[in-house]
Amino acid sequence: MANLLSIIGALLMLTVFVAVHELGHYAAGRLLGFGILEYAIGMGPVVWKTEKKGIQYSLRALPLGGMCRFYGEDDNLPVKQDAPLPFNAQKPWKRAVVVAAGPLMNVVLAVVLAAFALGIFGDVAAQVQEFSFADSPAQQAGMQVGDMLYAVDGKRLLSYAEAAPAIQAADPEAVTITVLRDGEKLDLTIRDIYNQEAGYNLIGITFSPARRTYGVLEAMGDSFGYVWNIVREMITAIGQMFSTGVQEGDLMGPVGTISVMSEFVRYGWETILRLGVLITINLGLLNLFPIPGLDGGRLVFVALEGIRGKAIPPEKEGMIHFAGLILLFALVILLTVQDVRALLGL
């Protein structure tokens, strides 16, 4: 029963992330005066629908995916006085905004989830446990056991893992480390931190991970840096994957994704929020890949139109996107087979 509830929870999470993505397209389209035919949550047969101001809102049977269908999106429809301007007749910059609004909405959702995670549960920071040797540079500068490292030379440390690399990259002659002590921030200037024997910067402290709480405004502010760090790490990982080649297990299909999500869902709300940040950012970034059928592919066609000075015929563009979707579905099927084999231990 617990496994089933975890899987249902993971499916609902993924559906919400996709719905928010499509909501970005929908909101930008409404704001810029695009004709919208349908906003749907889920895929497959319609189980519920209603219509308001000419737009159909629907829930579909499969809790995966969603869509926002625009008037004249893949057809060369004529401009009529009694109908909205077709999607492909809209100005290129407007189409680019509508297309990019989906991935952007995923980033916005990630920031909101990160703010909740930091505000409610805090984060793990580097806390001074002891001094490595007597009269260490840190001790001479006034650092105390129990201090939490907050910033190095004015750059915020957004996680425990950032502390050591930031100190290693600092100026050996002098580094200013901001610490949290009794709820207050103190700037400590530590000098001559390069250790000749060790061959690197050494301020003479041993630190360990410790839970740090956030105020509401601080959580909201740090959520942007938290999300940016994840985006940067994902982009680096994707670049490495392309440079070294995709290995078995690097990619997962829907079954593998739901399986991993369902495992994490069991660990409580903090894990759910942090996993949500990762998944929604991943969804936004993947949609920006310049692949036909994805948002990135549509942005490429808008850019080509700007360079050429004329649009590619909608019928041809639609066929290219359709072919891209077929290839993507084929990839999903292959990854699903891989996921099932892994789950069965084959």
**pLDDT, tens digit, for every residue of 165-179?**
898 888 888 899 999
CB–CB of 192/172 below 8 Å?
Answer: yes
- pLDDT of res. 74: 64
Q: How far apart are CA 230 and CA 275, in angstroms?
A: 11
- pLDDT of res. 88: 82
- 248 has pLDDT over 60: no
H or E, element range at 39: strand 36-52
Q: How far apart are CA 100 and CA 49, in angstroms?
A: 27
CB–CB of 124/194 below 8 Å?
Answer: no
Average pLDDT, the chain: 83
Per-residue pLDDT, averaged over 212-222, amounts to 86
Q: Please report which confidence band the pLDDT of residue 265 belongs to, taking 50, 70 and 90 as the band edges.
A: low
Q: What is the pLDDT of residues 96-132, one digit of tens each?
A: 999 999 999 999 999 999 999 999 998 888 999 999 8
Break the chain into its structural domains and give their ranges: 2-120+221-344, 123-212
Per-residue pLDDT, averaged over 137-154, amounts to 90
Closest CA to 291 of 315, 312, 322: 322
Q: What is the pLDDT of residues 48-103, one digit of tens each?
A: 999 998 899 999 988 777 889 998 876 655 555 566 788 888 899 999 999 999 99
At 310 the three-state DSSP class reads coil
- pLDDT of res. 20: 94
State both tokens at 141. 């500068």
Distances (CA, A) of 141 to 54, 104, 155, 269: 68, 44, 19, 40
Q: How far apart are CA 234 and CA 232, in angstroms?
A: 5
The secondary structure of 195-252, three-state, reads ECCCCEECCCEEEEEEEECCCHHHHHHHHHHHHHHHHHHHHHHHHHHHHHCCCCCCCC
Q: How far apart are CA 140 and CA 154, in angstroms?
A: 20
- pLDDT of res. 213: 82
Q: If you classify domain 123-212 with CATH, what class do you get?
A: mainly beta
| Other Cβ atoms closer than 10 A to 275 | 20
- pLDDT of res. 107: 94
Q: How far apart are CA 301 and CA 290, in angstroms?
A: 10
Torsion of CA 220, 225, 226, 228, to 10 degrees: 130
Q: Please report which confidence band the pLDDT of residue 134 belongs to, taking 50, 70 and 90 as the band edges.
A: confident
Q: How far apart are CA 313 and CA 315, in angstroms?
A: 5
Per-residue pLDDT, averaged over 318-344, amounts to 72
- pLDDT of res. 143: 92
- pLDDT of res. 280: 92
- 241 has pLDDT over 90: no
- pLDDT of res. 133: 84
Q: Which tops the pLDDT comparison, 27 or 257? A: 27
